[in-house]
Structure 1
Amino acid sequence: MNVALILNYKAATETISCAESLLAHCPTVNHIVVVDNDSQDGSAAQLQAWLDEKAHPNVTFLRNPENNGYAGGNNYGLRWAMEHLQPSYFWVINNDTYVDSDAFSPLLQALQANDRQFVGSLVLSADTGRLECYGGGKLYPILGKARLLGKDQSLEAIDEQRQTHAPDYIMGCSLAFSAALTREIGLMDEAYFMYFEEVDWQYRARRFGITSQVIPASRLFHYGSLSLGSRSAFYHYYRNRAATRFNKRFYGPAFALTSAFLLSAVTTLKEYRNPTLAWSGIKGAFKGVAMSVK
């Protein structure tokens, strides 16, 4: 069984649109699991009403009793599916996306040929049709930063992008993998709460010989932008905390501490007119260095 997993947080309308597009265009998705991450805004009631009306037999709606972040919400759905559905392959997909063609079958074919990999899609802007990212991005660990590959390029540039670049990680916006892989390497690290969870997961998987690959035939559309435009104290704190914690795990404490200083400087330069935001980023950067990792 092939299971798509959609995590909702205060965006029931978008989640329903995403699920309906999968139902309409992705026949090799056998079951969809929708998880509400304790939205507390009426989302759960809206999603339940949609299911009651449509009566989709191959959609399950779950309520996570707490909001434990992107990793925690997705892990909640993955654990439930592994216990109740006997899945072979998973497809984690952002709720603010939709498909207008069968975006899953190309991912499935790649996994059936080699299930020791993560695979991802081309992510296109719903507004412009141009690339938001070629599957994922490049990391600059010492700076605690990442760059999306192919952002704002036209579809005509896709072949060149494929030949000249490969991402360091696949975005969690569209990430497919085998159920066997989760049993081998474990699930996502919930201590991140937000940001870097899927990056950490893929880097941990490398220790097991697991690779990552973009499948250009798989394409989905994303509302808004993958690069967050509105910066907040919440964003700076959790984004910087995640970056330095990631560095501590994979490059060591000294590297993480150095990156915390550099990331703090970058954040301060960007937010020099907003010292409260800058301070949140600085606190997050050094908190990540202090957090425990295995």
Structure 2
Amino acid sequence: MFVRRSVIERVGLMAEDYFLFFEELDWAERSKKIYRLGYCPEAVVYHKEGATIGSSSDTRRTSRLSDFYLFRNRLKFTARFYPYALPAVWFVMLLQALRRGFRGQHERMWLIVQILFGRRSL
């Protein structure tokens, strides 16, 4: 993201309560109340998966830490900006938990279920 200092001064810094995942989306949602957001469709960005925290596009290889913050923050972001969409997001997360269970990832399945029912920290 490239923004002027004046934008940061008006919008504020990224929310620290996310820690990982969704903090930039939260910031963009707050920004668009004041500014028009844009993007460059021709831009190409290479991002080598999150090696530090063990995030991966393959859900069988993601770390527990990555899963926790991804699922917790998805709920947090939705509740903060799109509360009307919470039932749909909740349902999709429940399906994702079931999928983890069918794959034999029972610990991850229960982690998602715990997040759905209020777990907010590791």
Normalised by the size of structure 2, how large is the TM-score? 0.75
Deviation at 1:196, TM superposition (A): 0.6
In the alignment, does 2:14 pair up with 1:188? yes
Deviation at 1:231, TM superposition (A): 1.6
- Three-state SS of the structure 2 residue aligned to 1:192 is coil
- Three-state SS of the structure 2 residue aligned to 1:276 is helix
The answer to whether the Cα contact below 8 Å between 1:243 and 1:285 also exists between their aligned partners in 2 is: no
Q: 1:142-199, CA deviations, whole angstroms, 9 ceiling, x for partnerless residues? A: xxxxxxxxxxxxxxxxxxxxxxxxxxxxxxxxx1111110011111111111111101
Structure 2 CA distance for aligned equivalents of residues 262 and 283 of structure 1: 15
Q: 1:187 corresponds to which letter in structure 2? A: L
The answer to whether the Cα contact below 8 Å between 2:100 and 2:108 also exists between their aligned partners in 1 is: no
Q: 1:287 corresponds to which letter in structure 2? A: G
Normalised by the size of structure 1, how large is the TM-score? 0.34
In the alignment, does 2:72 pair up with 1:246? no
Deviation at 1:278, TM superposition (A): 1.0
- Three-state SS of the structure 2 residue aligned to 1:261 is helix
Deviation at 1:203, TM superposition (A): 1.1
Structure 1 CA distance for aligned equivalents of residues 67 and 101 of structure 2: 10
Would the alpha carbon gap of residues 270 and 187 (structure 1) be closer, same or farther in structure 2, given more than 3 Å must change? same
Question: RMSD of the TM alignment (CA)?
Answer: 2.5
The answer to whether the Cα contact below 8 Å between 1:234 and 1:280 also exists between their aligned partners in 2 is: no
User: Unaligned regions of 5+ residues in structure 1, if any?
Assistant: 1-174
Aligned partner of 1:235 among 63, 66, 79: 66
Aligned partner of 2:31 among 189, 193, 205: 205
User: Residue 89 of structure 2 aligns with which residue?
Assistant: 259
The answer to whether the Cα contact below 8 Å between 1:245 and 1:256 also exists between their aligned partners in 2 is: no
- Three-state SS of the structure 2 residue aligned to 1:287 is coil
Q: Determine what percentage of the aligned residue pairs are the same residue.
A: 21
User: Unaligned regions of 5+ residues in structure 2, if any?
Assistant: none
Deviation at 1:200, TM superposition (A): 1.1
The answer to whether the Cα contact below 8 Å between 2:14 and 2:27 also exists between their aligned partners in 1 is: yes
Q: 1:276 corresponds to which letter in structure 2? A: E
Deviation at 1:235, TM superposition (A): 1.9
Larger strand proportion of the pair: 1
Deviation at 1:219, TM superposition (A): 4.8
Larger helix proportion of the pair: 2
Structure 2 CA distance for aligned equivalents of residues 242 and 220 of structure 1: 23
Count matched residues. 112
Structure 2 CA distance for aligned equivalents of residues 244 and 176 of structure 1: 27
Q: In terms of Rg, which structure is larger?
A: 1
Would the alpha carbon gap of residues 263 and 242 (structure 1) be closer, same or farther in structure 2, given more than 3 Å must change? same
